Structure 1
Amino acid sequence: MSENGNGRGARGFLTRLVRQSRLYWLKVLRIKAEPEVVARGIACGVFAAWLPVVPGVPFQILVAIVSSFILRGSKVAAFLATWISNPLNWVFFYFVTYKVGGFFSPFEHLSIRIESFDMEAIKQLANVGWRGLVVMIIGGTIIGIPSGVVAYFISLPLIRGYRKRRALRQMRKTTSL
């Protein structure tokens, strides 16, 4: 096949990725809840996305849903927003959370020192153990809280604007009939 949107090449992959991202965003926009509720759900999901993925445990999703329950946000929006962290960018997220968490870590000496973002860093991150996991949770929490707040304030006007435009389109459609 060719390297167009339907092909298997890099361009086709990126096209599918963009389409899938847009589909998830439209699903979030169409959630039947108040914009503030949806934005709180997005904030909870973005916060949880900075936490590490624990194999066999849907840790990010559990944190997103529990925090959206506590903050009265949309659970669906929280679930979908966790996908900003995905297998394509986990290494970046882990690297950043490990570096930030290491700065605030209660552990004096960890067995690894990550200085650059390369294959060696990936190997080291894969073998950090429970101490490294705690460091990444600390770093993820420190980065996730402000990220969630920013996500709330960015998504709220976007949701309101989308719904306003949609209502205007519906009104035009009904008045032109």
Structure 2
Amino acid sequence: MLFRRRKKASRAERLREFLWPRKGLTRPARYLAKRIIRLSASPHAVAAGVAAGVFSAFTPLLGFHVILALVLSYLIAGNLLAAALATTVANPLTIPLIALATFRAGETLLGIQAAEAITTHDLLHRLEHLQFSELWQPVLKPMLAGAGVLGLLAAVIAYGVTRLAVQSFKARRRARLALRAGLAPTALSSGDLSP
């Protein structure tokens, strides 16, 4: 085998590698960010796609995040690939935090009092039996309300950050290509391509 280890890893080494990879836990996030920034669409399209993906990640519609992101991205002229990639904001590590934040924000927005709030035991019982009619009022309605507000806020922030990052990346890339071609960077930005 071409990439096989000479000495088989012990159980302790495999466990350590599973819990804390050699390249670190942030490597997939950095790769994803670079992949999004390097898309060939306009800065607005990429940023709009990321905003749509981040907004859909805040909704409690697990399993439908990508579909919702693609529809929203299409409606606001965003990049579909950026939208699909940005839905990874909702992953197994962040979903509990997002769900709790949207639930609490929704309770506050809808004015649900502590006496009307659902207990953890009741929530688990209702989830176990999957009774949608019993889940709508105490759980899904507050989560959707909270997701609307928090998701919109996160989408606006993601749009601004992504647009600036894409514009900066493309400007650096144009300057680098101009230097390779022997053009002055000022001539490229002013539109005059004559030497």
Q: TM-score, normalised by structure 1?
A: 0.77
Instruction: State, as a whole percentage, how many aligned pairs show the same letter.
Output: 26
Question: 1:24 matched to which residue of 2?
Answer: 32
Once superposed, which parts of structure 1, at least 4 consecutive aligned residues long, lie more than 4 Å away? 1-4, 122-128
Query: Any gaps of 5 or more consecutive residues in structure 2?
Result: 1-8, 129-133, 184-195
Once residues 125 and 98 of structure 1 are traced to their aligned partners in structure 2, the CA distance between those partners, rounded to angstroms, is 16
Question: Counterparts of 1:110-149 in structure 2 under 5 Å?
Answer: 110-112=117-119, 129-131=135-137, 132-149=139-156
Whether 1:93 aligns to 2:80 is no
Q: Report the Cα distance in structure 1 between the residues aligned to 2:23 and 2:56, rounded to whole angstroms.
A: 25
Residue number in structure 2 paired with 1:50: 58
- For the 8 Å contact 1:49–1:85, the answer to whether it is kept is yes
Counterpart CA distance in 1 for 2:58 and 2:125 is: 19
Indicate conservation of the 8 Å contact 1:94/1:125, yes or no.
no
Whichever residue aligns with residue 21 of structure 1, its letter is: A
- The answer for the alignment partner of 1:154 in structure 2 is 161
Q: Which runs of 5+ in 1 are unaligned?
A: 114-119
- Please tell me whether Structure 1 or Structure 2 has the larger radius of gyration of its CA atoms: 2
RMSD of aligned alpha carbons: 3.1
Secondary structure in structure 2 of the residue aligned to 1:12 = coil
Partner Cα separation in structure 2 for residue 14 and residue 133 of structure 1 = 38
Q: Give the aligned length.
A: 163
Q: Deviations over 1:84-119 (max 9, x none)?
A: 121111111111111011223487734327xxxxxx
Q: Describe the shift of the 1:62–1:142 C-alpha distance in structure 2 as closer, same or farther (beyond 3 A).
A: same
Contact 2:59 2:144 in 1 (8 A): yes
Q: Determine the C-alpha separation between the residues in 1 that align with 2:149 and 2:40.
A: 31
> Which residue number corresponds to residue 170 of structure 1?
177
Deviations 1:9-32 (A, max 9, x none): 5432771x3121111111111211
Match of 1:82 among 87, 91, 102: 87
Report how far residue 134 of structure 1 moved: 2.6
> What TM-score do you get using the length of structure 2 for normalisation?
0.71
The equivalent of 1:116 in structure 2 is none
